[in-house]
Chains A and B, each alone.
Chain A
Amino acid sequence: MDDLDLRLIKLTQDGIELVPEPFKKIARELNISEEEVINRINTLIEHGIVRRFGASIGHRALGILFNAMCVWNVPDHRVEEVGAIMAGFDEVSHCYERLRSPDWEYNLYAMVHARTREECERIAHEISLATGISDYTILFSEKEFKKTGVRI
């Protein structure tokens, strides 16, 4: 990633303009062609620096009001297998293994999004049945203090 890529990301990370030729102004500002802007974005995607180029969705506006962080205590030797099963659930948007802490035995995290609290609970229960992991807890978000994407 060179300096131009960095400037390109900074110019687009808060969203492109909703105009017929959204890349034109960006190209002008970077003093390169529109074609190069697009080629550079494609290269950034190929290199995994940009995960995808597209829309970020506001879950709340869609009525997806509940965001539950389900945390699971999974035996270390089963993490790979259980993580793959959890990731297969459509309602799970993110799934990670995180390190345990002396004061926190949970090691697998699945973010579940749904329209109601009960739906989140039902999905967590289904995950539990599918994986055989019964030591878990659901932490609903009670308040959103901040939500932005990764920015540079």
Chain B
Amino acid sequence: MIEALDPIDRQLVNTIQLDFPLNPYPFRILGDRIGISEEEVIDRLKKLTDIGVVRKIGPILSTTAIGGSSTLIAMQVPEYEVDRVAARINEFGEVSHNYLRPGKYNLWFTVSARKKERLHEIISEISELGYPFLNLPVNRLFKIGVKFEV
């Protein structure tokens, strides 16, 4: 939990989201910036990973830039079937987020495929499940998650 983070952890978490040094020795550079050793940076990042604060350090990909296309689907699934249907949907590697939300359309998931054809294929397989759904592709983008201040 957040209470377990001291100011150095917070500084580290804030820095590595947007300003991760692309250098052969990134953790040494981070340490120099914050005033701790390379070893301590690595130890702290391991701990932050263990408690789930840091999920990974790597490339955050843009679906459209890799030539792919994506959409948001809202599906109407009876409550008693929702766990099973969600598990079936999650089998698609292209499904990146999948949530239960209140309302008539209760299963909300995003699909990001490398090729448009693949997206169509997935949507047609999803429609074969037989539940009504809305296909809600992005028309305009105003903001995409960049950084979370801790």
Show the binding face of A for B, using Cβ within 8 Å.
1, 9, 12-16, 18-24, 34-35, 38, 41-42, 44, 47-64, 67, 69, 79-80, 83-84, 86-87, 90, 92-99, 101, 103-104, 107, 109, 111, 113, 137, 139-152
Contact = CB atoms under 8 A, between A and B. Distances in A.
Given A21-B25, A54-B57, A150-B62, A67 B99 contact: yes
Q: How large is the interface on B (under 10, 10 to 19, 20 to 34, 35 or more residues)?
A: 35 or more
Interface string B38-80: 1000100110010111111111111101101010101000000
B41 to A, nearest CB: 9
Interface in B16-34: 16-20, 22-28
**For the complex, would chain B's binding face be called helix, strand, loop or mixed by DSSP majority?**
mixed
Interface of B: 1-3, 13, 16-20, 22-28, 38, 42, 45-46, 49, 51-63, 65-66, 68, 70, 72, 74, 86-87, 89-90, 93, 95-103, 105, 107-109, 112, 114, 134-146, 148-150
Nearest to B103: A139
A20 B38 contact: yes
**For the complex, would chain A's binding face be called helix, strand, loop or mixed by DSSP majority?**
mixed
The 10 closest A-B pairs by CB, nearest first: A15-B56, A61-B52, A83-B142, A87-B143, A143-B100, A93-B145, A145-B98, A146-B98, A54-B20, A95-B142
Given A34-B24, A57-B17, A144-B99, A97 B61 contact: no
B148 A13 contact: no
